[in-house]
């Protein structure tokens, strides 16, 4: 039940969901209380414009992504842990496992493996039933790793996790069984602060190896590069709205995980 509610309830706190609720309220109030309805419509419009401009979106995203940028070469470890959320399952018309927008996680893990940063790769992630079911994501990630040249015997699958907390708990069991103390954690940069906090709460010596950066230094500089750029980046854009929502999801997740004592 917690898993279902944790995916459902935040939808009404994200900009698009919140604005939709405001518009529904406005529809009910429009005939009898038009001034109040106007307030809710104005609030919905403000939320959408605020969250879909590049200034707000990029700074909010970078506040998460830039927390764990490696200062130099990553140290070696005993295993690389790759968190789920990087693949699309084999569903028609797909004929093979696809990488999604966070697919850099798989590519980065292969790169670290080839650089001999660690001899093992642990892939952690299940498959939520209402999102299509099928094979666990850990199995899909393992197939891609083998396709990219990782030896199958160097891959350990953890197929029972449906959120980041379960990733850490289930991976810890594997580490304890194999006497592994130090790991490189690979996930999207925006997801790394919450992931790292959970892994460290589980007493795992976790070294952040972030990837899939959404915002670069050049993109921040672009905001003020010219007066025209500064103005254009204030205009609504669905990409900015999506990135704002992703960052907000991480901040809400951190609050919820703190309340549950997971970080």
Per-residue pLDDT reduced to its tens digit, 113-146: 999 999 999 999 998 765 555 789 999 999 999 9
Query: In this predicted structure, what is the pLDDT of residue 95?
Result: 87
55-99 per-position pLDDT tens digit: 999 999 999 999 999 988 999 999 999 999 999 988 888 888 999
pLDDT single digits (tens) 40-61: 999 999 999 999 999 999 999 9
Position 233 scores a pLDDT of 94
d(CA 246, CA 182): 29
Closest to 215 measured CA to CA, from 194, 235, 193, 189: 189
Q: Give the confidence band of 245 by pLDDT, cuts at 50, 70, 90.
A: very high
For residue 5, pLDDT over 80 is answered with: no
Q: Is 123 helix (H, G, I), strand (E, B) or coil?
A: strand
Average pLDDT, the chain: 93
C-alpha torsion 159→165→170→172, nearest 10 = 140
CATH code for the structural domain at 72-208: 3.40.50.620
User: For position 216, what pLDDT does the model report?
Assistant: 96
What tokens does 194 get?
A: 């919450």
Q: What is the pLDDT of residues 186-209, one digit of tens each?
A: 999 999 999 999 999 999 999 999
> What is the model's pLDDT at position 90?
85
pLDDT digits (tens, 9 = 90+) for 197-242: 999 999 999 999 999 999 999 999 999 999 999 999 999 999 999 9
* CA dist list (Å): 90 to 82, 122, 139, 142: 20, 21, 11, 14
For the stretch 143-182, pLDDT in tens is 999 999 999 999 999 999 999 999 999 999 999 999 999 9
The CA distances from residue 3 to 17, 89, 135, 163, in Å, are: 19, 20, 19, 8
- The answer on pLDDT for 3 being more than 70 is no
- CA 98 to chain CA centroid, Å, is 17
Res. 6: pLDDT tops 70? no
Q: If DSSP codes are grouped into helix, strand and coil, which group holds residue 113?
A: helix
Spatial contact of 19 and 241, defined as CB atoms under 8 Å apart: no
CA–CA–CA angle 109, 210, 195 (5° rounding): 105
Tokens 């992630």 locate to 125
* 79-83 vs 182-186, strand pairing mode: parallel
pLDDT at residue 196 in the model: 98
């Amino acid at each position: 039940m917690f898993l279902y509610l944790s995916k459902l309830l935040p939808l009404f706190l994200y900009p698009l969901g919140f604005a939709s609720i405001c518009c529904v309220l406005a529809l009910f109030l429009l005939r009898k209380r038009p001034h109040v309805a106007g307030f809710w419509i104005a609030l919905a419009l403000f939320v959408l414009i605020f969250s879909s401009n590049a200034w707000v979106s990029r700074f909010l995203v970078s506040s998460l992504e830039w927390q764990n940028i490696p200062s130099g070469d990553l140290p070696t470890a005993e295993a690389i842990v790759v968190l789920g959320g990087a693949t699309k399952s084999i569903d028609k018309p797909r004929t093979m496992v696809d990488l999604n927008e966070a697919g850099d996680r798989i590519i980065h893990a292969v790169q670290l493996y080839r650089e001999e940063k660690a001899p093992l790769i642990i892939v952690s992630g299940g498959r939520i039933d209402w999102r299509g079911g099928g094979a666990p994501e850990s199995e899909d990630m393992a197939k891609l790793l083998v396709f990219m040249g990782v030896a199958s015997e160097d891959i350990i699958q953890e197929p029972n996790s449906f959120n980041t907390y379960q990733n850490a708990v289930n991976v810890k069991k594997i580490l304890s069984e194999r006497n592994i103390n130090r790991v490189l954690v690979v996930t999207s940069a925006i997801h790394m602060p919450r992931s790292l906090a959970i892994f460290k709460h589980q007493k795992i010596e976790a070294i952040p190896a972030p990837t899939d950066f959404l915002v670069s230094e050049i993109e921040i500089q672009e905001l003020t590069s010219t007066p025209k750029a500064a103005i254009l980046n204030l205009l609504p854009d669905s990409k900015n709205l999506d990135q704002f929502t992703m960052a907000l999801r991480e901040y809400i997740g951190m609050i919820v995980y703190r309340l549950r004592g997971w970080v």
